């Protein structure tokens, strides 16, 4: 017997379908591409947490043999402090031990950048090796400086007592330009924009200079004594003892808006989004740089003594007591405060601004304070120490206690029973 099986590909010939041609089927609808959900998208959109600069713990405390004459400078490895009796001392940042000392007359805070320490001394500007304190170069200026030195883009800017603004090349000390201002200033010049330098002078003028050649871009006359300028994109800000805070167009110098406070304006800081300014009515405010619209205002809890600094979601405000207050930039809430203490436990004021980096690194000294009596304190943020809780002995084993189990209807075999005799 032969069995065969097969299938005819011609449906009509096989008489399996009607000979009439069926209506063509519509093309399938295109599928929508499946949306890929990024599980980390919501975390990327969240702003970073504020930098945990405070609270802190003391890493070291040094009592200098000679009181300091001005505030210091800080880099990754050392702290540099000018002392009375014509001395400069460098301390190790992490341990507080002396790195080097040398004799040099100076009365203003130094500036450190690219392993070079810049100092104004006896009518000249000097550059020292930051690691050893040895001389690198010296350029005479014929007078002393009236404001702290400023480093920017490889240039060093000084303002002399005779009212001249002078720019030097930081690598070798060569003088680039000199501009008479007809007045001096106690505030450091503030670089801003693409090619500008802003100064607030003792005669009430705000002056903008071209950084490349020192030519005057514009100037404005204001009443009262002026604070250190602050800059933001397209804006320059200056506070005054007439209780007003002024905003100028950075290119033309035209007044854009002003804000009346309840006391002398100490200074301002810009963090890339908001502008923060403090005044002697013990209020700090956050406003929009473009139009001055207020976001929030908070009581400082202390009398401000220096302009605030804003970075990484926080605002650092030096004051009388407490000496340092840190605010959350988004809300103005107080994150923490710090009061330098002497060996006797008494609160100490600050000499100059507290020294810190704009990036808080874990396990490192992040904040250094200097007092007029010569107490230098190195501080580590406790939130960046990542300590585990101390191990404690177990008084009770984990889990729940169980009762002794018995087998129901169980009788002990005769061979295991105790025989009493």
- Are 372 and 280 members of one domain? no
What is the domain-level CATH number for residue 375? 2.40.10
What is the domain-level CATH number for residue 285? 2.40.128.630
- Are 376 and 342 members of one domain? no
- Are 246 and 343 members of one domain? yes
Per run of 10 residues, the mean pLDDT along the chain (length 421 residues) is 56 51 73 73 74 93 96 97 96 97 94 96 95 96 94 95 96 96 96 92 97 96 97 96 96 95 94 95 96 95 94 95 94 94 88 92 93 96 80 76 74 58 53
Over residues 92-142, the pLDDT tens digits come to 999 999 999 999 999 999 999 999 999 999 899 999 999 999 999 999 999
- Are 340 and 230 members of one domain? yes
Q: Does 199 reside within a domain?
A: no
What is the reported pLDDT for 310?
A: 96
In which domain, by residue range, is 248 found?
223-351
- Are 361 and 339 members of one domain? no
- Are 346 and 358 members of one domain? no
- Are 360 and 246 members of one domain? no
Q: Does 72 reside within a domain?
A: yes
Number of structural domains in the chain:
2
Q: Does 95 reside within a domain?
A: yes
Q: Does 65 reside within a domain?
A: yes
* Order of strands, sheet of 124-129, starting from the edge strand that comes earlier in the sequence: 111-113, 116-121, 124-129, 135-140
Q: From 304, 324, 351, give the residue that closes a domain.
A: 351
What is the reported pLDDT for 33?
A: 74
Pairing of strands 324-328, 205-210: unpaired
Q: Are 74 and 355 a contacting pair, CB within 8 Å?
A: yes
What is the reported pLDDT for 403?
A: 78
Q: From 326, 351, 376, give the residue that closes a domain.
A: 351
What is the reported pLDDT for 253?
A: 95
Q: From 351, 367, 398, give the residue that closes a domain.
A: 351
Over residues 290-332, the pLDDT tens digits come to 999 999 999 999 999 999 999 999 999 999 989 999 999 999 9
Q: Does 380 reside within a domain?
A: yes
Whole-number Å distance between alpha carbons of 98 and 65: 12
Whole-number Å distance between alpha carbons of 309 and 262: 21
Q: Does 75 reside within a domain?
A: yes
- Are 264 and 361 members of one domain? no
- Are 346 and 363 members of one domain? no
What is the reported pLDDT for 420?
A: 55
Whole-number Å distance between alpha carbons of 299 and 315: 13
What is the reported pLDDT for 96?
A: 97
- Are 248 and 346 members of one domain? yes
- Are 230 and 345 members of one domain? yes
Q: Hey, how many other C-beta atoms are within 10 angstroms of the C-beta on 171? A: 14
Whole-number Å distance between alpha carbons of 178 and 169: 12
Q: Does 392 reside within a domain?
A: no
- Are 302 and 365 members of one domain? no
Q: Does 186 reside within a domain?
A: no
């Amino acid at each position: 017997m032969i069995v065969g099986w097969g299938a005819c590909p011609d449906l009509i010939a096989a008489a399996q379908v009607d000979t009439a041609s069926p209506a063509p089927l519509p093309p399938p609808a295109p599928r929508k591409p499946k949306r890929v959900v990024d599980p980390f998208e919501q975390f990327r959109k969240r702003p970073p947490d504020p930098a945990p600069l405070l609270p802190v713990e003391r890493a070291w405390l040094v009592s200098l043999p000679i009181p300091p004459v001005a505030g210091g400078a800080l880099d990754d490895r050392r702290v540099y402090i000018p002392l009375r009796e014509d001395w400069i001392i460098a301390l190790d940042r992490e341990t507080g031990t002396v790195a080097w000392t040398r004799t040099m007359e100076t009365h203003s805070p130094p500036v450190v950048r690219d392993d070079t320490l810049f100092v104004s001394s006896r009518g000249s500007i000097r550059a020292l090796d930051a690691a050893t304190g040895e001389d690198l170069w010296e350029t005479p200026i014929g007078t002393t400086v009236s404001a702290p030195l400023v480093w920017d883009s490889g240039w060093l800017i000084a303002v002399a007592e005779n009212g001249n603004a002078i720019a030097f090349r930081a690598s070798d000390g060569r003088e680039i330009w000199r501009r008479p201002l007809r007045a001096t200033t106690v505030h450091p010049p503030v670089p801003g924009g693409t090619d500008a330098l802003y100064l607030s002078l003792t005669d009430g003028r705000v002056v903008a200079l071209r950084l490349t050649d020192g030519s005057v871009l514009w100037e404005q006359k204001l009443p009262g004594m002026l604070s250190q300028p602050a800059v933001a994109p397209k804006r320059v800000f200056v506070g005054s003892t007439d209780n007003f805070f002024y905003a100028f167009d950075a290119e033309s110098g035209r007044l854009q808006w002003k804000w009346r406070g309840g006391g002398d304006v100490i200074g301002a800081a810009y963090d890339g989004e908001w502008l923060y300014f403090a005044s002697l009515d013990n209020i700090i405010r956050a406003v929009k740089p473009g139009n001055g619209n207020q976001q929030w205002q908070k009581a400082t809890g202390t009398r401000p003594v220096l302009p605030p600094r804003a970075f990484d979601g926080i605002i650092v405000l030096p004051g009388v007591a407490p000496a340092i207050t840190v605010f959350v930039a988004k809300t103005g809430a107080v994150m923490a405060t710090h009061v330098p203490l002497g060996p006797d436990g008494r609160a100490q004021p600050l000499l100059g601004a507290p020294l810190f980096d704009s990036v808080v690194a874990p396990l490192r000294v992040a904040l250094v304070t200097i007092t007029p009596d010569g107490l230098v304190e190195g501080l580590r943020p406790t939130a960046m120490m990542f300590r585990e809780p101390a191990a404690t002995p177990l008084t009770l084993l984990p889990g729940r206690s169980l009762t002794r189990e018995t087998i129901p209807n169980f009788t002990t075999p005769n061979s295991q029973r105790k025989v009493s005799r």
